[in-house]
Every structure is written in C-alpha cells, then in structure tokens.
Amino acid sequence: MTSRIPLIFGAGSLGLPGLRGNGARIHTVEQAQQLVDCYMSHGYNTIDTARLYGGGTSEEFLGQMDLGTCSVDTKVYPGQHGDFSGKGIRESLKKSQEALGKHNIRTFYLHSPDRTIPIEETLRAVNQLYAEGHFEQFGLSNYNAWEVAEIVGITTRNNWVMPVVYQGCYNATERTTEVELLPCLRHFGIRFYAYSPLAGGLLAGRLLSEEAMTTNTGGRWDPKVSHFAPYLRATYAPMIPVVRELKEGLDKYGLRLPEAAQRWLQHHSALQPGDAVLIGAASVEHLEKNIGDCKAGPLSEEVVELMERAWQQAKPFAPHYAW
C-alpha cells in the first residue's frame, strides 16, 4: 500500500560534512544507499536533488548509487547574479549531469528566481536544453504566482517547453501557498510538490524551545555547517509557542506531532492526487516512521480543528511562499 499523495525522496540531506555539505546529515554513499533502498521498498520511485544540495555532493552521491527504477529530478540555483543567463543555465545542467553520471534527469527545475536576468533569456535557454534532450520536463520552485503566470504566457507565446510542476513549501503551519499560488497552478494544470512537510523539522517536535534550536548541532539548524541555519531560526522561532501548544493538544489524542502533520497533508490539505510530498530522513528507522505516518488514514474531526487553530495562530509568522 502506498500513500494517497505520492512521496518523493528528498536528497537534500545527502552530502559531505561541514560547510561544503551545507547542512547535509548523511555523509557516506553507503548510508544514502540504505535510505534509498528503504524508500524504494515501499513502491516509490522518484528522487529529488539540486545542484545546491550538499554543495553539489548530493548529486555526486546519487551518481555512485543504485537507484533502481527511480527517476531523478534536479535544480539549477542562482547562487550569484547572472547565474540564470543562457550560459549559466547550460553550465549548471552540465555539472549536474556529470555528477549524476548514468542517471538521466527527469525534471529540471529553476530553484528560485534570478531577477537580475530577463526571464525570457532564462526560458529560451531552458527550451534549448529541453530540445536537445537533456531532461524530460521543466519545473519551477519558489516563484510568485504572478511570475508563474508570466512564465506560462512567455512559453506559450514562443511555443517553448512549459512548466508542468511547481515545488513549494507547504505544511500544517505554513499554508500561504493556498491563497494565490495553488489556484494559479490549478488554472494552468501545473502539479504541486510540497517540500518541508515538517516545517524544516519544527513539526518533528524536538525543537520546541529557542534553547533547543540554538543547541542543535550538526544539521540544518547549525550555522557552523549550514548556510540556511540563521534563516531557519529566524523563521521558526516565533512559531515555537504555537507548535508547543499543538503538541500538547495532540498528546491528549495519543498522536505524535509529526504523524499528525503528515496525515494532515495527505488527507486534509489542498493537495490532490497528481501532486506529491517530499520526505527525507537521517536514518532508515526515521524514514520508515515518516512513510508509515504518510500511509496512515485521515485524522478525526477534532484533531483537524486542532490543526486549524494552530494554523490561525501561526499565520502572522508564516513566511511568504516565494523567495
């Protein structure tokens, strides 16, 4: 049995240790293979990575692994102004292909906007690479709804490859995508893949104080090994009281916080079959638990109301969905 909404394995945790790995937690190919084997054993077959993940070493790990029948999605990231020029897009894709080795790219994403380059130039380059057969489909991530509409208009007018999937942040305490982005995607027939189902780990229930956040070492919350740690702390610290109260409420129903969060996404969110949820893990045991939570059934009406109250309390602190 698989989950109602398909699961994609997020390979952002794979990579070398230290700042080069940018918060990677799985530091050997052997460990990574165990996680992917576990994921595939449940009948799933898509792996998501990016040139940014692990400072490029996530793709390198995958290139050394047996991925079975899994397809691989990756992304180009504008680390510097001008990276989304025609030349920059091509160079990034080439690096991804070299790192991934024998594994072909299914979806090629623009990871976030590069507003220093005219979008027409970027889209022209993407279309040329698509025409050359370097990937199967085109995706967007972290763009505003109006930018998605603009991109669809440009690609339609020029008969270029259109985006067919959008990857964005969406979970029980971050639902800003529901207002304008999801209606936009539905209008254009673009699938939505939700990343950060546990709010960067906040909904895992282990970081329910600012002290716990600041003393958490070795992962994405640690500024010594992750460039994103300051952003995560600034974003999620104001939500701690809300999530702590939610956990206390769920305890009364015998539910774990991450279980409720995953089941909410599967059965009570705005996701539809055809969409997907990205999941990751630091261990096989952790991954098994995550997948099991996703396969579980709907929540009770009382618990759904509890989740809704938490969102209303978190809404003032929830970041905008686009970068």
Is 26 among the domain residues?
yes
Within a 10 A sphere around the Cβ of 120, how many other Cβ atoms? 15
| pLDDT at residue number 258 | 98
Task: Say which residue the tokens 């096989």 belong to.
Answer: 284
Is 271 among the domain residues?
yes
Are the C-beta atoms of residues 116 and 82 closer than 8 Å to each other? Answer: yes
Is 239 among the domain residues?
no
Measure the CA–CA gap between 36 and 7, rounded to whole angstroms. Answer: 12
User: For residue range 213-240, what is the model confidence (pLDDT) as tens digits?
Assistant: 888 777 778 887 777 788 888 899 999 9
Is 308 among the domain residues?
no
Is 225 among the domain residues?
no
The ranges of the chain with pLDDT < 70 are 19
Catalytic residue among 44, 53, 166, 236: 53
| pLDDT at residue number 17 | 86
Q: Which stretches does DSSP call E strand in 153-306?
A: 163-169, 191-195, 276-279
- Which CATH number do you get for residue 112? 3.20.20.100
Is 229 among the domain residues?
no
- β-pairing, 46-48 vs 71-76, is parallel
| pLDDT at residue number 217 | 73
Measure the CA–CA gap between 109 and 105, rounded to whole angstroms. Answer: 10
| The pair of three-digit structure tokens given for residue 302, joined into one six-digit string | 């009382």
Task: Say which residue the tokens 């290139």 belong to.
Answer: 63
Is 322 among the domain residues?
no
User: For residue range 7-26, what is the model confidence (pLDDT) as tens digits?
Assistant: 999 999 999 987 677 778 89
| pLDDT at residue number 221 | 80
| pLDDT at residue number 68 | 98
Measure the CA–CA gap between 56 and 49, rounded to whole angstroms. Answer: 9
| pLDDT at residue number 313 | 98
Measure the CA–CA gap between 219 and 115, rounded to whole angstroms. Answer: 30
Measure the CA–CA gap between 43 and 3, rounded to whole angstroms. Answer: 10
Provide the domain limits for residue 63: 7-202+259-300
State how many domains the chain has: 1
| pLDDT at residue number 161 | 99
Measure the CA–CA gap between 143 and 149, rounded to whole angstroms. Answer: 10
Please, which residues have CB within 8 angstroms of residue 176's CB and are 6 or more apart in sequence?
A: 318, 319, 320, 321
Measure the CA–CA gap between 51 and 97, rounded to whole angstroms. Answer: 10
| pLDDT at residue number 322 | 98
Is 141 among the domain residues?
yes
| The pair of three-digit structure tokens given for residue 34, joined into one six-digit string | 């165990």
| pLDDT at residue number 66 | 98
Q: Give yes or no: 53 in active site.
A: yes
